[in-house]
Structure 1
Amino acid sequence: MEIKEMKGKATGKATGKATGKAAVTDKRAGILSLEAFLNEMEVKPQTYDWDALLVFDRPATNKLLIQEFIERIDVPDKFFPKLPDSAVDAGNGIEHVLLGLELDRALLSFENADILGSKAKLVMRVVAGKHLEVIEVYHDGEPVRSVQAITLYNAATHGLLEMNINLRAAKGTVDTIGQVLLDIADGKDHRFSGGGTGLEKERLGSYFAQVFKDWDENGDRLKFPLSELVVDNAAAINPKEFSIGTHAPQSARVRGSANYGDGAVVVFVSFGEGGKGSIPPDNESLLYMLPDAPEPYTSNLVMAHRFIVLNVFMSGLEQFDWMKGKFKAVELVGKRYKVSATGASSESVPCVFSEGATGGLGSEEWVISLAIDSVLPNLFDLGSEFVFEGRSIKARWRSKKKVGDVVYTGSTEWNPWQRLLAVEAEISINASYKFNVVSEDGKVLLRLEVEAFESSSSVTVEKSWGDTALGHAADRISSNLIAHVEQAMNSRFKEKINDLKNMNIVIDALRLNNLLFRGENVVEPRDAALPLDLTLLGNLAPKQTTLTVNPSQVIVTSGQSFEFKAESAPGAVAWDVKNLPGETGDRGVFKDSSKGIYTAPSDDALLTEGQRRLIVTATSGDFVSRALVSVVPSHVTVNPWVVAINVGTKHSMSAGTPDSSAVVWDAPGLGTISPDDDPLNPGGYKYSAPAKLPKREETDPQYYKVLRIDPVTVRAAAGGEPATIDMLLVGAKDVNHWLVPKGREDGSVELKFYCLDGDLEKVEVPGNVEWTVLRGKGTIDKDTRVFNPDRDAKDQYVIIVAYALESTVPGACAYVILPMPFAGVPTPGERLYPNNEKAGGIWKTI
């Protein structure tokens, strides 16, 4: 991997010159050129006492979060537990029962760039569930509950649960098993949008308010799992706590500017004791960490100078026994550090040497010798140091001292002698180190490597002779001795010199990116430098954030064609669509893979599941982008699907399409419709039931006297399959006739038809009964009074009507609306009409 290292002068990507004043590029005010940025980094530490900062371009961050959301759409969400079935009491015996509500995975996005008011949002779509309007009345002293209206939820309902997060109040932690959690209990508010009329939104909002109230009592429920991190307790980099903020450069704070609102996401990271700093008080106080460049930087990893010195570099020195405990970090003015030797490093070096010479004649004859056994040099002295300057770590070691004695013996005819001559050694080491990015076993690491290294040693021996033949001989022997001692010292120190040249200080720093992102190696590093804090600039997942599919999430109907756009594509784009992992079925098709025109499938599964999800992929060379497609059965989604309404009354209705296009409301046959003036139902319509039902014709079934279905059809203006709201009109029906359904294990439903007799006692209706399946498919055995649904019909609900043919009471009729499937725990029917304890205590038996 080729990584540029910035030193002394920035690489060719820098724009601007180093001056005493920070240079600002012409392109975007407030964003420094690379060289000016590094100059500012050299002034002082910039992490506000945190161990590290992770800085990402906000738009690129949101793009990558969407891509990871789509890639993991099939993975069960750990944030929201299974939503409970519940009810919202509307008073007057009416409850709004919510069954089987399901939320899509939570999608995190960062909404602004402001260190003071940093905001994020979690969005979850309601993708499944039923809403039943249930009324409770008393018959023969017992409560009887019946369904009066049904609304079905899928992606096309546009139901959104949004949680707005105040990031300054949200605290991040990494637990013992590596879960990265953002505690939003003290920093969230929520709202529900979409999903029908204003009243419908209010009911769902009340439901979620109760859910959150329950969760507030269990704090762990409000810890959002951002990601997962491999825990390595032996590693220096082991994050414990973090905070997230957003930050804007000067130009992005001006309303109306081209890049207003742009900026960065900043993760402030603590690795433990002493590494938890403070959040900057305002945007101006924090250096904008993504400098300007022709190819914009979208990521920066900043490791605090203090942490690099105390926890990385000092630990690296401790790996060598000969340096262990002999250096300490010294804090300087301005929270700078250097590493200084606490004493000298002395080591005995054997260097046995003895050499003599003779000369002269007669009375001038002489004999001399020089001998030494060992020396005790210092590789470094007190005050030798490592300093952080020039965008590197520099070793400056000096040692000059007497290291031993040479035994100098000799004699002339009349004068023998033996003297000790001082041996001095001077050792000098100058080295420069920088951090480089290396790739090992698929992991991207930061390694401290030597950039330049010089070492020298010299030995001198005290002279005690003159300019004579004897002195010349002594000089020669002394030179041999010096060479011998230097060789012995160099040989002895060779291993230590190699240690200094090959320090094995490695930081697995880029795994910190997993605090926010789940992918491996999501950052491609470009430029590393050590102005004081360690900075590693790069690109955030360019292969996933450069090319963009627009829209990234879309709802289409079965058989519909939809055109996707590929933005910022570097070349030709190839389109494909796949099922979610583990799913099968018709995926739809791009008839021309070079064009983004997608045709959704016509799949039977849509009738029962209400929706299918598919992943569209656009590829251009090495660049890829994905979109999530939700396919729903109808072009039009209505609310409610069915409702029982008394003659002479009104009911609000709403409808929509996946692309929010116009809809057309067809006039019903019996009632009338008109735009709804209720501010809680913008764009909706209101149905007005007739004052009375039309007279039954002789050939009509008996129930026509008191019940009719008046369908309201809603069509998309652009065409396609319409949707229907079943308005069940209830006329002069006798209130003392009622139906009680009971689900059976085989899926059938036993229907008990009751009335009050002349003594006002509850009895089953005797004699002949006219049974009618008014909506849905299935048959009723008139003898057993058991309804058998059509197993292939895939009905969401059925309406069944019973009319007592032999009764003398006018309107001796009853109806029941059954959500389907009805029988078997834990289906909606059995939750609504429990027959055993497993169904739960909140439901009452009809």
Structure 2
Amino acid sequence: MAAPRRTLAQYLEWAAIKPRTTDWSALVAYDRGKCNLLLLQEYIEKHDKHSVMPAISEPYGSTDKTWTWLIDYVTDAPRLSFENNPDLDSAEANMSMAILGGKNITMDDVLGFAQINKISSYDPLDHPTLVGDRVELKDIQGTVQKDGQVVLDLGDPRSQRYIWEVKGDRVEHERRMAGAFFKRKFREADPVKRTFSLGTLATTTQAFIKPQKFRLRTIMEEGAATRGAANFGSGAVEVRIAMDDEIMGGTPGEDWLYPLPSDRPDLDAMMIFGSHFFMHGIIGKGTARAFNAPNAEFIGTKNSNQFVYHLKVKPDTEGYLAIPPFEVTVGSKKARFSDYKMPIYIDSDHLLTMTLFFPLNALSYCRVGMGADDKYRTMTCTVDGTPYSYQIAIGLNGNYQFSLDETSRRLKVEVAGYQAPLNISGAGDLPSDVRNYMSSRDFEARIGDAVANAAMTIFNGLEAIDVFVLHTLFFNSEDAVQLKTLHLTGEMALFGSISPRLTTFSIEPVEHMLTYDGTHTFKAEPSVSGVTWSVEDLEGGTVGVGRIHPTSGEYTAPSLADIHGTYKRVKIVATARIGNNPPHISKALVTVVARAITLNPLIEVCNGSKAGEPEESRMLSAHSTSGALRWRVEGDGRINETANENGENTYYAPPKLLAPAPAFTIDKVIVKNTATNVEQTTLIVVRHYISMVIDTSFDGVSANQVRLLPLISGATPTETVIWQCIPEDAGNIDVDSGIFTVSQTTNSQFALITSMVDLGWVQFSGFTILSFPLAPLPAKPPPEIPQTTALDDLNGLLEDVYEKVEQFSQDSDVREKAKECLDQIASLAEDTQNGH
């Protein structure tokens, strides 16, 4: 939904017209960009070995003839970011999950046995990413678990309603089948691994601030969908919350305003408490607590704008407000006044009432009325240890002002003024000087202050509001939101800024990648003095993590010997005390890689290009931590010298050859870092036609061996087979037995085995690709269940309906009209999905 943005004053005028929480207990809104940045910080702080899925080693089917084998697939922790959406009532979170390590092997059995067509090996430099666009939150009713943690379950079918893809393959079908596989893995995974925590709600001593249900949506600023606009991409995340004994509300209407003001860029967080919840759930329940009346109930009155502005206690409600004792010195005597209890309900004319006032351009306040100066209750006065009882009648009309403390940025309530008329009866036994004191203005002020301050405990629930604001649904840290303005428009509205962590300082950059032994100097942004720097692994250890200068922030990555595998991840920690506040901590995530360049795939098969048809092509990708990469081909194919912004480049195969030319040729795609001159090579096996194939067998051989079985027209050739292994140091082939043995010293992850039989008048040649470590290829699994969207499903149903119309109606006009109506339904559905 797109909504117009207004100044703070205009927004408050709009908010005063009618309740804007639409029967929810509270509404919270955050600037989308700041929210995403803080979610990234939360991701870094919570990221450890327990926040990722276990490594995956499993095949999955793409088609009836092709499948993919994932080996030691290591996925990153899922990341969520909120995106703008023009839809009326939806919130969409994009989920992305990087494949940081492992091998991807694609196979087919078009020749009657399994063959490898492509091998890729991933690390943080170059990898595919699982993307769950439009992880739909609109119909997910968020719940708060017993431990206070708020989670979204990515294995829940409701969060998998839209297409997931593994980005990196040029073929959409392959991307979506990989996405379908990961959907299944999430459904099968341990719930702890497949959930993403949005935050942990604070527990409070006030048991009435208990969020239980919530609903999220994103909202765009009007005009923010237009590329080139000054506010392009501007959006907010709105959260509607129901407390444990409050109903779930509805959705806002077409007159909705963007929730953050246009003239206050420092205000990027907002919270509104509904008038019913504020009066009944906070003030009413705070009153019940203050008056020791846990079962107290209140009658609410609405004003002409439908705000609950007045509460009065129901008749015959039991409970009392205990007035704290106080002592005075009268001459040489010490007098202690105590044991006065003010009833919550005396009679229909003398009962507790609370009324909100929200004048324009002035602080809002609540007037509390209770007691009466003609309704007497017993009070005790102890003079030098001797107790005396007498009757006293006190009334209170007190005004309590709401404001924000300038230092702590917390809500506070102060007595803005009160009247407390009183009358005393039966005090004749008291000493005369004490009795005379009780007729003084000082005694009247002392007991009035005691009553007025005791009544302020009604508002203790506002402390719980503070805790709730600072421990919101998204952010775990206590300093997530800093309050700046408070307004009572009929509902209580609070504005603030997201996270002093972002405005105090954060590490720049928040994520970084280095090669082993590399260096980088981290900074606090904005710059602050007294920052102490440290480095730790994901479990908080300090061994093998590199080193960082404690004051300058210069970090040196660990050596290659300290990296077990293709990468290592550590956290940079910056700590500083700002003023008298507790130490402020910011963290950054550093990935240290073992390779200077990562190029994928390692090897791939590609058909030669046919004349008169589009060229056969393959997509490759390469990345390095620094320096420009240049591409070239050694062979007959071609490739652009530079890749696109995503590091992707397209190889184009040479023209297809015919016999007696070679059945296949081998091109080398070479990527060079122009700064370091380091190179990486990919082999492209260009298949022109099939003359010989190579099957494999693992029966009767050692673990590091495989038997190669050359076949010509399905038969084993009787002539001598000439074998070749690429790269040469990958292993050796016994000519007589055809057994290939992997070299114990090779660093290669694969071997390309070629075979050739020379009959003099004709040559037969073939190839096969082996992946290391050697292992039998997995059996072909059935294809994953294809993903479809709700729109795909609808179009399928509409096609079925039209087929029925054609089956049962011979009238061409009826058919034409039916087709027109069904097309109109499909068009409306597509427009709805696209937000038009």
2:748 aligns with 795
**Distance change >3 Å, CA 103–CA 482, structure 1 → 2:** closer
Contact 1:711-1:724 at 8 Å conserved across structures:
yes
Aligned pairs for 1:582-597 within 5 A: 594=552
Within 2, Cα distance between the matches of 1:346 and 1:640?
78
Structure 2: distance between partners of 1:233 and 1:741: 67
Matched letter for residue 602 of structure 2: W
Letter in 1 for 2:59: S
Q: Does structure 2 retain, via aligned residues, the 8 Å contact 1:648–1:692?
A: no
Structure 2 CA distance for partners of 1:560 and 1:144, relative to 1, 3 Å: same
Question: Which residue does the alignment assign to 2:384?
Answer: none
Would you say 1:821 and 2:798 are equivalent positions?
no
Contact 2:24 2:242 in 1 (8 A): yes
CA distance in 2, matches of 1:171, 1:301: 20
Counterparts in 2 of 1:229-248, with a 5 A limit? 229=201, 235-247=207-219
Is the Cα–Cα contact under 8 Å of residues 72 and 103 in structure 2 kept in the other structure? yes
Identify the residue that residue 638 of structure 1 maps to in structure 2: 599
Matching residue within 307, 313, 326 for 2:277: 307
- Provide, for residues 91-112 of structure 1, a one-character-per-residue CA deviation record: whole Å limited to 9, x for no partner: 6x44444444443222222233
Structure 1 residue 227, shift from structure 2 partner: 3.1
Does residue 603 in structure 1 map to residue 560 in structure 2?
Answer: yes
Partner AA of 1:654 in structure 2: L
2:83 equivalent to 1:122:
no
Kindly provide the amino acid, as one letter, of the partner of residue 601 in structure 2.
P
Name the CA distance, whole Å, in 2 between partners of 1:813 and 1:109.
Answer: 52
Residue 652 of structure 2, aligned match among 659, 683, 686: 686
**Structure 1 residue 310 displacement after superposition:** 1.8
Partner residue of 1:712 out of 639, 645, 669: 669
Q: Find the residue that maps to 1:227 and give its secondary structure.
A: strand
Q: Structure 1, residues 414-441: CA drift from partner, whole Å, max 9, x if none?
A: xxxxxxxxx99863212234568899xx
Is the 1:549–1:564 contact (alpha carbons within 8 Å) kept by the matching residues of 2? yes
Question: Mapping of 1:476-491 within 5 angstroms?
Answer: none
Residue 207 (structure 1) aligns with: 178
In structure 1, distance between residues paired with 2:400 and 2:212: 29
Q: Is the 8 A contact 2:751 2:770 kept in 1?
A: yes
Cα distance in 2 between the residues matched to 1:480 and 1:304 = 49
What is aligned with 1:544? 502
Tell me the alpha carbon deviations over residues 500-543 of structure 1, each in whole angstroms, 9 at most, x when there is no partner. 35458345333463411233442234455655433444332222
2:630 to 664, 670, 684: 664
Give the one of 696, 700, 704 matched to 1:739.
Answer: 696
Q: From the superposition, tell whether residues 202 and 770 of structure 1 become closer, same or farther in structure 2 (CA, over 3 Å).
A: closer
* Partner Cα distance (1:310, 1:456) in 2: 28
The reply to whether residue 518 of structure 1 matches residue 476 of structure 2 is yes
CA drift at 1:64: 1.0
Write the deviation string for residues 261-293 of structure 1: whole angstroms up to 9, x where unpaired.
Answer: 4353221111134431122224x4247355855
TM-score where L is the length of structure 2: 0.68
Q: Letter of the 2:706 partner, please give it.
A: L
Name the aligned partner's letter for residue 272 of structure 2: V
Aligned partner of 2:652: which letter?
K
Contact 2:708–2:740 (CA under 8 A) maintained in structure 1: no
Report deviation, 1:50: 1.0
Q: Match of 1:749?
A: 704
| Distance of aligned partners of 1:756 and 1:31 in 2 relative to their CA distance in 1, 3 Å threshold | closer
Q: Name the residue aligned to 1:21.
A: none
The verdict on how the C-alpha distance between 1:731 and 1:110 changes in structure 2, with shifts beyond 3 A counting, is closer
Q: SS of the residue aligned with 2:84?
A: coil
Percent of pairs with identical residues: 21
Instruction: Say if 1:777 and 1:798, in contact at 8 Å, map to a contact too.
Output: yes
Q: CA deviation at 1:208?
A: 0.7
2-structure distance, mates of 1:517, 1:30: 27
Determine if the alignment matches structure 1 residue 105 to structure 2 residue 77: yes
1:726 paired residue among 664, 680, 683? 683
Pairwise mapping of residues 143-182 of structure 1 onto structure 2 (< 5 A)? 143-157=112-126, 159-165=128-134, 166-182=136-152
**Deviation string for 1:547-582 (max 9, x for gaps)?**
466654455555667787875445798877654436
Give 1:53's match in structure 2, choosing from 19, 27, 32: 27
SS in structure 1 at match of 2:99: strand
Partner of 1:339: 311
CA distance in 1, matches of 2:656, 2:778: 32
Asked whether the equivalents of residues 403 and 424 of structure 1 are also in contact (C-alpha less than 8 Å), the reply is yes
Q: Residue 48 and residue 603 in structure 1: after superposition, are their counterparts in 2 closer, same or farther (change >3 A)?
A: same
Q: Distance in 1 between the 2:393 and 2:297 partners?
A: 20
Out of 24, 37, 40, the residue aligned to residue 63 of structure 1 is: 37
Unmatched tracts of structure 2, length 5 or more = 321-339, 359-363, 378-389, 579-583, 611-615, 785-836
| Equivalent residue pairs, number | 714
Correspondent of 1:328 among 298, 301, 311? 298
Q: Aligned equivalents of 1:588 and 1:344: distance in 2? A: 72
The residue type equivalent to 1:673 in the other structure is R
Inter-CA distance 593–447: structure 2 relative to 1 (3 Å threshold)? closer
Partners of 1:775 and 1:800 within 8 A in 2: no
Task: Answer whether contact 2:153 2:194 (CA < 8 A) is retained.
Answer: yes
Q: Equivalents in 1 of 2:366, 2:708: separation in Å?
A: 90
Residue 1 (structure 2) pairs with residue 31 (structure 1): no
Q: State the secondary structure of the residue aligned to 2:253.
A: coil
Distance 2:738 2:227 in 1: 71
Label 1:428 to 1:691 Cα distance change in 2 as closer, same or farther (>3 A): same
Q: Cα deviations across residues 99-147 of structure 1 (Å, max 9, x unaligned)? A: 4444322222223386836543222222223332323266xxxx53222
CA spacing shift, 1:660–1:53, aligned 2, 3 Å: farther
Cα RMSD, aligned residues only? 5.8
- Pairing 1:616-635 to 2, within 5 Å after superposition: 616=572, 622=578, 626-635=587-596
Aligned to 2:788: none
SS of 2:125 mapped into structure 1: helix
| C-alpha distance in structure 2 between counterparts of 1:647 and 1:257, whole Å | 47
**1:87 match:** 60
1:173–1:241 CA contact under 8 A, matched in 2: yes
For 2:117, give the aligned amino acid.
Q
- Return the letter of the residue paired with 2:123: N
Offset, 1:793: 4.4
After superposition, the C-alpha distances for 1:693-716 in whole angstroms (9 at most, x for unaligned) are 999xxxxxxxxx998765332223
1:610–1:287 CA distance, 2 compared to 1 (3 A)? closer
The 8 Å contact of residues 287 and 459 in structure 2, kept in 1 or not, is answered as no
Structure 2 residue 235 is the aligned partner of structure 1 residue 277: no
Q: Which amino acid aligns with 2:122?
A: Y
Query: Residues 600 and 791 of structure 1: is their aligned pair in 2 closer, same or farther, counting only changes over 3 Å?
Result: farther
What residue in structure 1 maps to residue 337 of structure 2? none
Task: Give the AA of the match of 2:600.
Answer: N
The aligned amino acid for 1:544 is L
* In structure 2, distance between residues paired with 1:128 and 1:580: 17
**Letter paired with 2:276:** R
Structure 1: which 5+ residue stretches go unaligned? 1-27, 349-374, 405-422, 462-472, 696-704, 823-828
Question: 2:671 corresponds to which letter in structure 1?
Answer: V
